[in-house]
Structure 1
């Protein structure tokens, strides 16, 4: 189904290590609004999506989120490579280091490990698409918050790119919601559903 091109969607070339910043950015790897959860959410929702256009949107965006996961992992790796014990301790990376050394582990900035509970899949077209719209906005906010703490242009540029893609995904899910709403309206879905009324 996929063809893997061995290059990042946007280049990541960070010269200066910064484990304190890596500890924040890791949230977009495995945090509650991160790329791992997004990719799994969309690639799982596509199975029960009744409209081919919406399945295509979910597949496209879910696949792109995997590319974003790779970018975030690369950013975290480059921010933590070749650290001294003093740098690890001084920048508050020691607690993470104890469990994972400098491995890229799916965890939130708060320290909570990735949890599949953040993957919302209901099988209901409207509930899932609305969840996806909200998820893209939460990811954008997380990138906004990361940018508040990042002053290194080598870090800011790829983070800005990722933020922009969240906005594009939000727009695509908006198109999907319009498609779904038009089709459900044509069945008079909102006015009367004999299964429940």
Structure 2
């Protein structure tokens, strides 16, 4: 169950409306690094948490709901940048020929389809895809995915922070960057404190069933023999503490990829 408040999670101020920056902000809404991704990612991960692990479900759902609030903030920022921009502001942005091209061909749908408001798309106008969402059902795997999602999200927010001189936009982005810092640490705590052996994933697979010659070997794909570069990933103990890294100078090889037959029903004739 969700409850909605009329108040934004954090104040959104735009002192100098900028239609170009509104387009950039769309990446933080519907892009692969955006808030729609993490909101749905944490929500669907929570749906898969069993009853006995209810504390993780609660944490995931709390964070998912927080990310929904971030979408609302960013959508408000997009609208304020678009609706508040004067004709003079829009003409000034067009003085740069590259920006003018972007404005002319980048997202006319912000006006035509959304009436100068935000849309569930990225900065190129590509619709948000559910394929961005990682919810594997394996909590350890999902936590690694969450750290990555928050890392790229924080990277995007810092880049946006550098792209604007508007004090209100910098203030909003400073808040979002801070929350990304918290969430990165939050997911790392789950990994480090709640899983005795988080690697390799899944931990329930019997590791003795792996090919023991290759499970901790860095494999060179150069043609011919090559020397061990003597790097941390080619020698020494592996991070999971279950093996020793080694170096293989060549791939094992396994015959030619010749197909025995063509499936007739697929009409895959090779003429």
- Relative contact order (C-alpha < 8 Å, sep 6+): which is higher? 1
Asked if structure 1 preserves the Cα contact closer than 8 Å seen for 2:15 and 2:167, the reply is no
Q: Distance in 1 between matches of 2:198 and 2:24?
A: 41
Question: 2:196 maps to which residue?
Answer: 182
The question of 1:123 aligning with 2:137 is answered yes
Cα deviation digits, residues 78-137 of structure 1 (max 9, x gap): 111144566546534333552220121122223322111111111111111110111011
Offset of residue 179 of structure 1: 4.2
Query: Out of 189, 205, 218, which is 1:193 matched to?
Result: 205
TM-score by length of 1: 0.87
Asked if structure 1 preserves the Cα contact closer than 8 Å seen for 2:17 and 2:81, the reply is yes
Asked if structure 2 preserves the Cα contact closer than 8 Å seen for 1:125 and 1:180, the reply is no
Question: 1:41 maps to which residue?
Answer: 41
Which of 24-33 and 1-10 deviates more?
1-10
Count of aligned positions: 193
Root mean square deviation, CA, Å: 2.4
Question: 2:125 maps to which residue?
Answer: 111
- Residues 164, 47 of structure 1: alpha-carbon distance in 2 compared, 3 angstrom cutoff: same
Q: Distance in 2 between matches of 1:94 and 1:118?
A: 28
Question: 1:72 maps to which residue?
Answer: 74
Asked if structure 2 preserves the Cα contact closer than 8 Å seen for 1:126 and 1:177, the reply is yes
Question: 2:105 maps to which residue?
Answer: 95
Question: 1:11 maps to which residue?
Answer: 11
- Residues 48, 80 of structure 1: alpha-carbon distance in 2 compared, 3 angstrom cutoff: same
- Unaligned ranges ≥5, structure 2: 94-99, 210-271
Asked if structure 1 preserves the Cα contact closer than 8 Å seen for 2:15 and 2:168, the reply is yes
Question: 1:164 maps to which residue?
Answer: 178
Offset of residue 46 of structure 1: 0.6
Larger radius of gyration: 2
- Residues 73, 104 of structure 1: alpha-carbon distance in 2 compared, 3 angstrom cutoff: same
Question: 2:266 maps to which residue?
Answer: none
Offset of residue 53 of structure 1: 2.1
Offset of residue 183 of structure 1: 8.1
Which of 137-146 and 80-89 deviates more?
80-89
- Residues 56, 18 of structure 1: alpha-carbon distance in 2 compared, 3 angstrom cutoff: same
- Unaligned ranges ≥5, structure 1: none
